[in-house]
Chains A and B, each alone.
Chain A
Amino acid sequence: MSGYWIGIITILSINMVFAYGIYLAVATGQLNLGGAGFQAIGAYAAAWLSAEMGMPLYVTIPASILVTALIGFAFAFPILRLKGVYLVLGTFAFAEVVVGIIINSDALGGAMGLPVPDYIDWPVPVAGAVIAALICFYIMSTRLGLVVRAVHDDDVVSDLMGVDVRLVRVAMFALGAGLAGLSGGLYAHAYTYVEVQTFNASLSIYVLLYVLLGGAQTPWGPMVGAAFFTLVPEALRSLLPELKMAVMSALGVEGTVNPPDESWRFVLLGVVTVLMMVFRSEGLVTRRLVERLSHPFRRSAAVKEAEA
């Protein structure tokens, strides 16, 4: 495989793990806009253990999960009292505070970043993505998954039915934080360098968009969302100049055409986001779509309910 494709597969796997981390919080109806903060904690935990303590890989990566999950757990208790806009702002503030603390701490390299000695090749992030996906599919297929869905759809009724709403939310938030930490640990070792500027507000926004545009109803959503929004911008990198050439020659413009600005890719991503929210706000993959694809000839209960 060429280096280009190895790079894409690595970042795709890391994005998928990251998206599953945010998905677990969103699945209980909690928008987590602090993803970059959790990924930063995982990345710096792995980087610090590896660089300063000389720990091997099989210590640093589990440690990145554990540290982030514990911090997520401690943070979830007070923050999950908040709902809606307040929760979005609280998680966003958390990410900013984490980044601010890292910049100001000399032990973590401050604004300079930390080099990471151990390098991992692409099979490790891919294995991480597969494990994260299996965990999420398993959780959503159990009774806990049913409870998660109930809490997402109506927390008051779930509470009346005897579900410990707070416990479910805190547990899923902490587990999600652990997965985001894993993505950070994988990132640190795959790029052998961590720099706090990577973990900015845009990253938190992108990963939440992966989940919400992919669809938060089923565990397929984050996978499709992360794949779509990682691969399509990459494809556009080579497609956009060709597209502009075609348009220009159709308009009858002769001679060399300057390649379009890189930023057009993000403009397109924004347009897709806006259109998705207008026409299909539940995301690309919905529960109904999965039902249909898995039983093409059976009229399932969900389909009947939707048609009624």
Chain B
Amino acid sequence: MLLVQQIVNGLMLGSVYVTVAVAFTLTISILNFLNFTIPTLFMVAGMVSWGLAYFGLPFGLSGPLAWPAALACGAVASILCSLLVERFTFRYMRTRHGDSTEHAIPLVSSLGFLLILENLIRIFYGSDSQRFPGPSSDLTTQIGGIFVRIPQLVSFVIVMVLILGLVWMMKHTRIGRGLRAIAENPDAATILGVEPNKIVPVVFMLTGLLCGLAGALFAVNYGEVSPMMGEDIGSKAIAGMVVGGLGSLWGAVAGGIIVGLVEMLTIHFFGADAVQVAVWGALLVTLLMRPQGLFGHNAIGKGKL
């Protein structure tokens, strides 16, 4: 029974990883860009929400609706930061040198943004972890002897609905077609009337939205935020993305859940210290044995990778 409980906990933890992993995989599949600001955006959403809830909200909002409003503001902050990142990283990826480290340019800029955002948050909100005033934590229900916390269940459902919507958008809307065209061949897409400078920000808005949502859900479910919260979640999400397959949305979903399960089962059987080895070991083995991941396809990157 304890084992089943751990599996359920792993699924719930996995849903946060899934959201961040989908953000990673979206940027990689469409833009061939490993965006290192994603964990930081996640952290920005959590910390800004906490800051607003703690130091007081704008427009005199208070009372029982204060924390959802704070979470919404946090997600908006994450989207705005993401658009700022787009303006200063991806715009400059246009081929200028044509050598094999050229894809490093936006990657290195995103490392720069990681430093900027993380340290700004430290300056304004301090380095300590903070308690997030969410809903009371005893919202627990029992299904067949398994404890499930209602907020976690709700966030699991929200995440799944959001990803279904994303998949539908990529398949059936004009924006989705444009994004897939850019992923396939940016030059041909431009000739056929897709404007990269208009459509690429959409990717970054989605990234900010996913990270903002993940940050908000994390803050509510675990009741604690800190300037370091992104590092751990970000690395687990990267592991999930690679295990599932770079560039595949459903791969990221499966990978995120697998990493959540691996983490909980490793804690159950070997203790908390072994988690890092297990998760990163899974990533390394996947890269060495099957680089395309469980659900990936070789098409992404078009030989440039």
Contact = CB atoms under 8 A, between A and B. Distances in A.
A269 B115 contact: yes
A83 B305 contact: yes
B168 interface: no
Interface stretch (B14-22, B142-150, B192-200, B235-243): B235-243
A172 B43 CA distance: 37
Given A79-B288, A201-B235, A85 B32 contact: yes
Contacts of B32: 84-85
Interface in B265-292: 273-274, 276-277, 280-281, 283-284, 287-288, 291
A104 B274 contact: yes
B188 interface: no
B202 interface: no
Interface stretch (A88-96, A133-141, A182-190): A88-96
B187 interface: no
B305 A86 contact: yes
Given A97-B280, A205-B111, A270-B119, A155 B287 contact: no
Interface string B98-138: 01110111111101111110111011000000000000000
Interface in A255-273: 261, 263-264, 266-267, 269-273
A198 B303 CA distance: 36
B210 interface: no
Contact of B287 (A79, A100, A101, A152): A79
A97 B284 contact: yes
Contacts of A282: 97
A163 interface: no
Nearest to B282: A93
B119 A264 contact: yes
A94 B105 CA distance: 22
Given A29-B100, A155-B100, A209 B111 contact: yes
A12 interface: no
A96 B283 CA distance: 10
A99 B122 contact: no
A224 interface: no
Interface in A270-287: 270-274, 277-278, 281-282
A99 B274 CA distance: 11
A99 B231 CA distance: 15
Contacts of B301: 84-85
Contacts of B294: none
B222 interface: no
A153 interface: yes
Contacts of A85: 28, 32, 34, 103, 246, 301, 305
Nearest to B118: A266
Interface string A59-100: 000000000000000000011011111101110111011011
A272 B109 CA distance: 10
A201 B36 CA distance: 12
A103 interface: yes
Contact of A261 (B99, B123, B231): B123
Contacts of B111: 205, 208-209, 273
B304 A84 contact: yes
Interface string B80-106: 000000001100100011011101111
A82 B242 CA distance: 13
B113 A270 contact: yes
A243 to B, nearest CB: 15
Interface string B155-169: 000000000000000
Contacts of B113: 270, 274
Interface of B: 28, 32, 34, 88-89, 92, 96-97, 99-101, 103-109, 111-116, 118-120, 122-123, 231, 235, 238-239, 242, 246, 273-274, 276-277, 280-281, 283-284, 287-288, 291, 301, 304-305
Given A89-B287, A152-B100, A281-B105, 16 more contacts: A84-B301, A85-B32, A85-B34, A86-B287, A88-B34, A93-B242, A100-B276, A101-B277, A104-B277, A205-B111, A209-B108, A263-B119, A263-B120, A266-B119, A270-B114, A277-B92
| A-B pairs with lowest CB-CB distance, top 7 | A273-B112, A270-B115, A29-B100, A270-B116, A100-B276, A100-B277, A84-B305
5 contacts: A89-B238, A96-B235, A153-B100, A266-B118, A278-B92
